[in-house]
Amino acid sequence: MRSITIKDIARLSGVSVTTVSRALNNAPEISEETQERVLRVCREQGYRTNLLARSLISSRSHLLGLVLPELANPYHASLSLNIELCARELGYQIMLCCGRPEKGQMKSPFDLLLSQRVDGILMASTSDSAYALPQNGPGGVPCVVLGACAAESTTARTNTVSVDNFMGGYMAAEYLFRLGHRNTAYLGLRPGSSTHTLRNQGFLTAARTLGMAVEVVENPDPSSSIESGCRMARQLFRRPGFCQTAVFAASDAVALGVIQVADELGLAIPEQLSVLGFDNIEYAALPNIRLTTISQNTPLLARSAVRLLMELIESGEDAVYTRKLVTPSIIQRATCRPLSSEEAPPA
Amino acid sequence: MRSITIKDIARLSGVSVTTVSRALNNAPEISEETQERVLRVCREQGYRTNLLARSLISSRSHLLGLVLPELANPYHASLSLNIELCARELGYQIMLCCGRPEKGQMKSPFDLLLSQRVDGILMASTSDSAYALPQNGPGGVPCVVLGACAAESTTARTNTVSVDNFMGGYMAAEYLFRLGHRNTAYLGLRPGSSTHTLRNQGFLTAARTLGMAVEVVENPDPSSSIESGCRMARQLFRRPGFCQTAVFAASDAVALGVIQVADELGLAIPEQLSVLGFDNIEYAALPNIRLTTISQNTPLLARSAVRLLMELIESGEDAVYTRKLVTPSIIQRATCRPLSSEEAPPA
DNA sequence: CGCCGGTCCGCAAACGTTACCAATTCAAAC
DNA sequence: GTTTGAATTGGTAACGTTTGCGGACCGGCG
């Protein structure tokens, strides 16, 4: 059951192990003839490099650790997938490790990954910051934190890649303005969260520049969900003098709440009200929802993170910390419509 | 930047490397006193075992390869998460590898994983069976195929773990019968797919036993989706003498289509029609859907698969192939209601 | 005193690679 | 004819562990 090694190949093709190694890594100092012969034997025997041994001696494992929060949402799924894909293209494998650091006697994800001698760590941020990175990085290898919440740790000594939430908010306002809307509402997320703050600021900044009115509705709940979207929508619709023709929900979950309430109240979307979301979660694409929304562009996010991590690994740089912002894009579906200029806002 | 090794510890605590090794693996042939001393030095120095070296010599990497299809859906996300969790509890790490075997010059996932010397491979089945396993397993290490479609490869020499689709169909019929329904419909999946066949057979078998009428609607499309659900629903509702009080949709996607069409036609759910799905996809839990459905129980599925793979690894058995079926469970939400016995079916 | 058994420890060989340094050949240059 | 140099190859020491075997020490027994 022993798998065949470089020694076997050497014996079988009548050369030394060194030569076999050279043939495999097509080193310059080997004759084409020998190389071909050796490689043929390798193929015949089904030889496979033992990467453990290679990593051991080169002290580079070409492994990347990926730390995920314990909950499985489509966002993280897509992130993981793209990360793996990009890493593999660049010659790296992904070692998975899902949250829950101190459950029972289990070691923390970081310890495990470091023991496996990963070359770097990619960490999808959790809102639950119960376990953040150890103070000075995970200890020895570079680390990139990835995702929206990463912005919160703006002072920490970490490398982060996240969506540009400010820009997203800005784009939302521009988009609605271009459609002709002049009276809009912003429905927020968990108050104080950086995601909320940035998207809000972006939206308000653009609105101010463009001269577009914004009614801000604060999220009453500690966490934002469809339910809190419902609550905010009801509150908005019942305000005296409600005249908004479009709402920007700071997350798709909130947008779904808005749609639900509008449905209940017989408010037609998009005829009477345009709704714009943020995140492009899977639900948004459902045929009976078709939510127009701002997409985080997970593939790009993933690629940027992997690239950054690569650079850190190659350079060995550990004194300078980078922060990348990825510009989101608008996914046009069916919940926003242009407003002709002579249309009066509803009473 | 060299990380500290067992040799450093040996030097620092004045013993041999052997002794340090024994202390770390708490071998019996070491005095408690020495062990404590060595371990203290390890802690002080922040020593971390180099698993590469350990794996190299023990020829057991405690690594499991996980092969996923290229598309990221919540089902696979949940699966991966649970697999990782379970594996870690049992002392194994997961090495991720996502589909797309022969894109460009990239090596196949299996080659990569085998080069990393994983102890076993877990493969989430794809409907796209373009790349199945190499004929005789992936070559050297045990492999478990996981997921619904796995049933199709019933003759192949593979170990599989999948949900018991027949039982699911059976449970569906029993459930609807117990609610009082006597006239039901079954809306199918891609014709010829094992998932469809088994769920259908299970449903029909139970219905026959119980004496419950079933109107079967075949899926017209090559792949089943919300749209095909819509089509089947329209076809059913327009049949002359339509009298069904409940439909069992063989997947949640199909069920969503049914709900949508019922909505359009003003057919109230669950008042006029009960709808039962299968899969418990994320959408099913949305507050404005609340689909009653049969759940695949991914955590259990994942655990079973990991357990099976472990057994195969430990035993070294490679001549007998196992097939595990996991019983699904019913998630009761809001789309099914009991029918009082005197209620007449709608005209 | 010699022997035995047990407890604790160290030496050195492995695991499958790569890297450094030398050795060999052969042709061209002096 | 000797030197130089390039091209190709081989031997061997690493990398950080684990493991088999043997040695040292000690207490107890005949």
Residue A121: beta bridge partners?
A65, A143
Q: Choose the mutation target among B73, B83, B98, B318 for the interface with A, i.e. most A CBs under 10 Å.
A: B98
In the structure, what pLDDT confidence band is assigned to residue A86 with cuts at 50, 70 and 90?
Answer: very high
CB contact under 8 A, B96 and A93: yes
The pLDDT of residue B150: 45
Q: Chain B partners of A74 at a C-beta cutoff of 8 Å?
A: 72-74, 77, 282
In the structure, what pLDDT confidence band is assigned to residue A103 with cuts at 50, 70 and 90?
Answer: low
CATH number of B6-49: 1.10.260.40
Fold topology of A165-296: Rossmann fold (3.40.50)
In the structure, what pLDDT confidence band is assigned to residue A194 with cuts at 50, 70 and 90?
Answer: confident
The pLDDT of residue A216: 97
Tell me the Ramachandran region of residue B83: left when phi exceeds 0, alpha when psi lies from -120 to 50, beta otherwise: alpha
Higher-confidence residue of B108 and A202: namely: A202
In the structure, what pLDDT confidence band is assigned to residue B102 with cuts at 50, 70 and 90?
Answer: low
Average pLDDT over residues A297-310: 94
Average pLDDT over residues B225-253: 95
Closest-approach nucleotide to residue B47, Cα vs C1': D16
Residues 38-97 of A with CB under 7 A from strand D: 53, 56-57, 59
In the structure, what pLDDT confidence band is assigned to residue B28 with cuts at 50, 70 and 90?
Answer: very high
- Checking if the pLDDT of A334 tops 90, the result is yes
Domain B165-295 has CATH 3.40.50.2300: yes
Spanning CA of B36 to C1' of D21, the rounded length in angstroms is 26
CB contact under 8 A, B96 and A94: yes
Length of chain B: 347
Q: What is the pTM of this model?
A: 0.88
Would B6-49 and B165-295 be classified into the same CATH topology? no
Closest-approach nucleotide to residue B5, Cα vs C1': D16
Pairwise CA distance, residues B299 & B302, whole Å = 5
Instruction: Count other C-beta atoms under 10 Å from residue B58's C-beta.
Output: 10
The pLDDT of residue B106: 60
Task: Supply the Cα-derived Rg of chain A in whole angstroms.
Answer: 26
Of all residues in chain A, the percent with pLDDT exceeding 90 is 69
Q: Chain B partners of A263 at a C-beta cutoff of 8 Å?
A: 288
Check CB contact of B97 with chain A, cutoff 8 Å. yes
In the structure, what pLDDT confidence band is assigned to residue B309 with cuts at 50, 70 and 90?
Answer: very high
When CB atoms are compared, the residue of B3, B56, B263 closest to A140 is: B3
The pLDDT of residue A104: 53
When CB atoms are compared, the residue of B1, B53, B316 closest to A56 is: B53
B30 to chain A, minimum CA–CA distance in Å? 24
pLDDT tens per residue across span A124-133: 876 544 445 5
pLDDT tens per residue across span A220-239: 988 778 999 999 999 999 99
Name the residue in chain B with its Cα closest to that of A1: B140
Cis previous bond, B270, omega within 30: yes
* Residue A163: both structure tokens together: 């969506």
Of all residues in chain B, the percent with pLDDT exceeding 90 is 69
Pairwise CA distance, residues B49 & A95, whole Å = 17
CB contact under 8 A, B52 and A55: yes
Q: Choose the mutation target among A49, A96, A98 for the interface with B, i.e. most B CBs under 10 Å.
A: A96
Among candidates B303, B324, B314, B308, which has minimal Cα distance to B84?
B303
Pairwise CA distance, residues A336 & A270, whole Å = 5
Asked if B214 and B184 count as a contact pair (C-beta separation under 8 A), the reply is yes
Among candidates B252, B327, B251, which has minimal Cα distance to B290?
B252
* Residue A293: both structure tokens together: 């929304």
The pLDDT of residue B53: 97
Check CB contact of B93 with chain A, cutoff 8 Å. yes
The pLDDT of residue B286: 86
- Checking if the pLDDT of A340 tops 80, the result is no
Q: Chain A partners of B94 at a C-beta cutoff of 8 Å?
A: 95-97
Check CB contact of A265 with chain B, cutoff 8 Å. no
- Checking if the pLDDT of B151 tops 60, the result is no
When CB atoms are compared, the residue of B84, B111, B112 closest to A98 is: B84
Check CB contact of B241 with chain A, cutoff 8 Å. no
Q: HSE, CB side, 13 Å, CA atoms: give it for residue A164.
A: 17
Closest-approach nucleotide to residue B9, Cα vs C1': D16
Alpha helices (runs of H) in chain A, residue ranges in sequence order? 6-13, 17-24, 32-45, 51-58, 74-89, 109-115, 165-178, 194-210, 226-238, 252-264, 298-315
Length of chain A: 347
Asked if A333 and A290 count as a contact pair (C-beta separation under 8 A), the reply is yes
Among candidates B222, B346, B330, which has minimal Cα distance to B272?
B346
When CB atoms are compared, the residue of A72, A85, A287 closest to B81 is: A72
In the structure, what pLDDT confidence band is assigned to residue B282 with cuts at 50, 70 and 90?
Answer: confident
Name the residue in chain A with its Cα closest to that of B79: A72
CB contact under 8 A, A96 and B94: yes
Average pLDDT over residues B202-206: 98
The pLDDT of residue A283: 84
Average pLDDT over residues B239-248: 96
* Residue A222: both structure tokens together: 């500690």
CB contact under 8 A, A226 and B287: yes
- Checking if the pLDDT of A295 tops 80, the result is yes
The pLDDT of residue A249: 98
CB contact under 8 A, B48 and A260: no
Fold topology of B63-164+297-327: Rossmann fold (3.40.50)
Closest-approach nucleotide to residue A17, Cα vs C1': D10
In the structure, what pLDDT confidence band is assigned to residue B20 with cuts at 50, 70 and 90?
Answer: very high
pLDDT tens per residue across span B58-69: 999 999 999 988
What share of residues in chain B are helix, strand, coil (percent, to 5)? 40, 15, 40
The pLDDT of residue B35: 96
- Checking if the pLDDT of B176 tops 70, the result is yes
CATH number of A63-163+297-327: 3.40.50.2300
The dihedral over CA atoms of A244, A249, A253, A259, expressed in degrees to the nearest 10, equals 20
Spanning CA of A29 to C1' of D2, the rounded length in angstroms is 27
Q: Chain A partners of B96 at a C-beta cutoff of 8 Å?
A: 66, 80, 84, 93-96
Among candidates A236, A224, A229, which has minimal Cα distance to A189?
A224
Spans of all domains in chain A: 6-49, 63-163+297-327, 165-296
Question: Which A residues 48-87 touch B at CB under 8 Å?
Answer: 48-53, 55-56, 61, 66, 68, 70-74, 76-78, 80-81, 84-85
In the structure, what pLDDT confidence band is assigned to residue B137 with cuts at 50, 70 and 90?
Answer: low
B172 to chain A, minimum CA–CA distance in Å? 25
Q: Which residue has its C-alpha nearest to nucleotide D19's C1'?
A: B18
Angle, helices B32-45/B6-13, rounded to nearest 10 degrees: 120
- Checking if the pLDDT of B147 tops 90, the result is no
Q: Is the CB of A54 under 7 A from strand C?
A: yes
Higher-confidence residue of A142 and B127: namely: A142
Average pLDDT score, chain B? 89
Question: Which A residues 199-228 touch B at CB under 8 Å?
Answer: 226-227
The pLDDT of residue A108: 83
- Checking if the pLDDT of B71 tops 70, the result is yes
In the structure, what pLDDT confidence band is assigned to residue A135 with cuts at 50, 70 and 90?
Answer: very low
Q: HSE, CB side, 13 Å, CA atoms: give it for residue B236.
A: 35
The pLDDT of residue B90: 94
CB-based burial of residue A343 (10 Å sphere; 0-12 exposed, 13-18 middle, 19+ buried)?
Answer: exposed
Pairwise CA distance, residues A120 & A95, whole Å = 10
Q: Chain A partners of B48 at a C-beta cutoff of 8 Å?
A: 111, 114-115
Q: Chain A partners of B49 at a C-beta cutoff of 8 Å?
A: 115
The pLDDT of residue B344: 52
What share of residues in chain A are helix, strand, coil (percent, to 5)? 40, 15, 40
Average pLDDT over residues B261-290: 92
Q: Is the CB of A273 under 7 A from strand D?
A: no
Cα distance between the two ends of chain B:
81
pLDDT tens per residue across span A14-38: 999 999 999 999 999 899 999 999 9
CA atoms A208, A211, A215, A219: torsion sign: negative
Average pLDDT over residues B61-83: 88
Candidate from A152-166, B63-77, B186-200, B301-315 with smallest mean pLDDT: A152-166
